[in-house]
Amino acid sequence: MSHLLEVRNLSKNFGGLAAIHQVDFDVQEKEILSIIGPNGAGKTTLFNLLTGILGPSRGKIIFQNQPITHLPPYKINRRGIARTFQTTILFEELSVRDNLLIAYRSQMRSRLWDSLLRTGRLRREEEEALARVEEILSFVDLLAEKSHLARNISREAQKRLSIAMALVTNPRLLLLDEPTGGLIKEETGALMDLFLKIAATGVTLCLIEHKMRVVMNISNRVVVLNHGMKIAEGPPQEISRHKEVIRAYLGEEYLA
């Protein structure tokens, strides 16, 4: 597999605090990579750096062989990286379908004059948007809820909607920040099936995840952070036996 994303010597300091310190790792085409570590390890900060929400103090980020280190978030999204957030962010007073239409807007090229003049480009893009939204709603099994307000659907459906809002932008790399947080076992299992379904379409997944059931069952590789530094990387079963990972995160009782 070839490198889709390359992270080299990436660091982020907040005053005297090193939230991320000289982190190196790659994400391969069409794999599922999990990033784990204790609270405060720097996982979400890492995602914020990869998506341009934060700028790095040092290091570089290369996506599809092109540097994206200092690009703004909207340009990184257009290059093919999309994400969800640890706290599900939705337009709660809008319908499920309208949430996706807003997310898709970042992919449209029409501007103010197109809207004022109702140009052919605008009409064409609106038709494309509606078709793409219907396609993604069907893919994530939310078609029946498309007219419901986002605040009125279940927590698990809201998780699916946030993933759908990322998918509608046609990403090559999908970053998921604790996507199963707050869900019960059955709901977590349903989302695991969705992750595998997404991966089967050729989209590469990188997820921050605390539930080891998820990590061990769907990941091709695992990267472990602690205090902003990478302490281990490898296949799930290898990581589960790594002494430093057990000490820092899994707990000594993990293999007891």
Q: What is the pLDDT of residue 127?
A: 78
DSSP state of 69: T
- E-only strand ranges, the chain: 3-14, 17-28, 32-36, 58-63, 66-67, 81-83, 173-177, 204-208, 221-226, 229-234
* Residue 115: pLDDT band with limits 50, 70, 90: low
Q: What is the CATH number of domain 3-80+171-255?
A: 3.40.50.300
DSSP state of 4: E
Q: Collect contacts of 125-130 with beta carbons under 8 A, ≥24 apart.
A: 129/101, 129/104, 129/105, 130/101
Say if residue 179's pLDDT is above 70: yes
pTM over 0.75: yes
* Residue 119: pLDDT band with limits 50, 70, 90: low
DSSP state of 80: T
Question: What does the block give as tokens for 105?
Answer: 């807007």
Q: Which segments of the chain belong to CATH 3.40.50.300?
A: 3-80+171-255
Mean pLDDT of 215-226: 95
Q: What is the pLDDT of residue 142?
A: 97
Mean pLDDT of 37-44: 92
Say if residue 167's pLDDT is above 50: yes
